[in-house]
Amino acid sequence: MENIQDNTIFDLAIDEEGKSHISSIAQWANISAIVGFAGIGISIIGVVIGLMRVSENSAAAAGSGVFGLFISTAIALLLNITLINAAINLKKGIDQTDQGHFSLGLTKLAMYFKILGIITIIVLVIVTLILLVVALVGAGRSTF
């Protein structure tokens, strides 16, 4: 018996309609990343304005605001840079018919969704724990 490999999935050809769809995905990913960068800028401006309004007595609140801004900015930058790299590589791969750029674009897009999924799971766990603590504290304080 001969070992026959079926490489049809790796020799995938994309027709014009598929190219159009992938080009549209790259365009929307690019728009989403640009909007994300604008959101980062607005957040930074908002925190800076908030810090200017905070009195000297609220140094702890100001410190937590800066720390939160740093963490959220780092995460948002990571996500948006990954998304814009995916968009650029997908567009180059389609326009230049370059398998390398196309594969890199798909890899970056997959990485974006993995990071987003992990962050979503972490946020859901934190929210669930907070709700659980609030429910336990509320149940402990109720008296009949």
Q: What is the pLDDT of residue 64?
A: 75
Give the pLDDT mean for 79-104: 93
Helix 59-95 and helix 16-53, axial crossing angle in degrees, nearest 10: 160
Residue ranges of the domains in the chain? 20-138
Residue 11: pLDDT band (50, 70, 90) is: low
Provide the pLDDT for residue 18: 86
pTM of the full predicted structure?
Answer: 0.76
